[in-house]
Amino acid sequence: MNAPFAPDVVSLDLLKVGTRARVSAVDWASLDESEACRLRHFGFDEGVTVEPLHLGPFGRDPIAIRVGRMTVAIRRRHAGAIQVQPIR
Tens digit of each residue's pLDDT (9 = 90 or more) over 50-66? 999 999 887 788 999 99
- Taking 60 as the threshold, does the pLDDT of residue 1 lie above it? no
Report the predicted TM-score, pTM, of the whole model to 2 decimal places. Answer: 0.86
Greatest pairwise CA separation for the chain in angstroms: 43
Percent of the chain whose pLDDT exceeds 90: 81
Alpha-carbon span 1 to 3, nearest angstrom: 7
Counting DSSP H helices and E strands in the chain, the numbers are 2, 6
Q: Any alpha helices (H) in 1-88, and if so which ranges?
A: 33-42, 76-79
Alpha-carbon span 60 to 80, nearest angstrom: 13
Mean of all residue pLDDT scores within the chain: 90
- Which domains, from first to last, does the chain contain? 10-86 (2.30.30.90)
- Computed on alpha carbons and rounded to an integer, the radius of gyration of the chain in Å comes to 12
